[in-house]
Structure formats: C-alpha cells, structure tokens
Amino acid sequence: MSRYVMKQDWFCIGTDYTVKDAANDPVLRIDGKVFCIGDQLEIKTMDGRRLAYVDQKMFSWGPTYEIWRAGHLAAVVRKSLFTLLHCKFTVDVPGPDDLVATGDFWDKEYEFSRQGRRVATVSRKFLAFNDTYGIEVPHGEDPILVIASAVVIDLCCHGDRK
C-alpha cells in the first residue's frame, strides 16, 4: 500500500498542491495554471518532469476533466448529474478498467472502486487541515491517476476556495 498526503498550498496564485509520501518527503507538485478558461493543472515530479496534465472541458454536461499522460488521453473524470442523496464521479479510462468514486465528498471521505472492488481511499479523517488529504493506493494501481482524480474531485466539490 502506498500512502500519500496531498495538501493545497495556501499562499499561491492558482490552485497548487504538494504531495508527500509516507516518509513525509515531497514527491509531486501540482501546479494550477492562472489566467486560463477553466481549470488546468500540471502534475510534476519535484525536479519538474511532467507526469500528467489535467484540463477542464468547458462545454460539457456537468463538470468534466481530461487527464493526459505522455500526450495521450489517460482518463476522463465526470461528476454524475443525476444521483439521489449523494455524489458520484466516474473515471473513464481506455478499456474496461473504469473507476467510480463514491462517499462523502463534502467531508472529503471517499473511495475509488473498480467493478465493486475498492482501489483507493481518500480521507481527511485524521488530518488537522481542511485542505489536506490522506490518499492510500494499493500496489499495482496507478497512484498518479488516483491523485489527479482526487484533485479533480476537490476542484468540483470545493472549487469556491480559490
């Protein structure tokens, strides 16, 4: 199991996050672009190598974001519009391995599942700061996809903090 802590930076222009590993070492930088239409973010290693790019699609039914990796579309994250009593997000990846995120998005406690099997969890349960998340990803799953999707969910549910 890989564990990460994702924290939104307080004093920044745009929406920026720092991701640390279980040893509390910074491993990723999420850089939100400013002066653009819609949300656009780059996920980079600490030495600046780009691992993924997140781009909000402005003209779609409901919040929709694309996650690009190495010039290829890796996933489309959508907030389901017609759900009763709770929110749901789909992470549509090429092929049959789509993810579904369900849980309490307002309190930032949710999980990603694939065909009913839990794939990752996102929680702020034991963290003191409102904009800090603990993310657990089992070995064999793609942590960059999960982290990028968690950023999208944060933007959709708590984007008014910018």
89-111 pLDDT per residue, tens: 999 999 888 999 998 766 678 99
Place of tokens 């929406």: 15
Between residues 160 and 83, the one the model is more confident about: 83
Gap between the Cα atoms of 145 and 117, Å rounded: 17
CATH number of the domain encompassing residue 124: 3.20.90.10
Question: 79: Cβ–Cβ under 8 A, 6 or more apart, which residues?
Answer: 62, 63, 64, 87, 88, 89, 156
pTM for the model stands at: 0.88
Count of beta carbons in the 10 Å neighbourhood of residue 57: 13
> Quick one: which of 160, 148, 132, 150 has its CA closest to 52?
148
Position 158 confidence tier, pLDDT thresholds 50, 70, 90: low
pLDDT tens-digit readout, 2-40: 999 998 876 555 578 899 999 999 999 998 876 666 788
Q: Is the pLDDT of residue 162 over 50?
A: no
Which structural domain, as residue segments, surrounds residue 20? Answer: 2-161
The answer to whether the beta carbons of residues 68 and 77 sit under 8 Å apart is no
- 42-96 pLDDT, tens digit each: 999 999 999 999 999 887 777 899 999 999 999 999 988 766 566 789 999 998 8
Query: Please, is 47 exposed, middle or buried when counting C-beta atoms within 10 Å of its C-beta (0-12, 13-18, 19+)?
Result: exposed
| Contact residues for 146 (Cβ-Cβ < 8 A; gap 6+) | 112, 119, 120, 122, 135, 137
Structural domains counted in the chain: 1
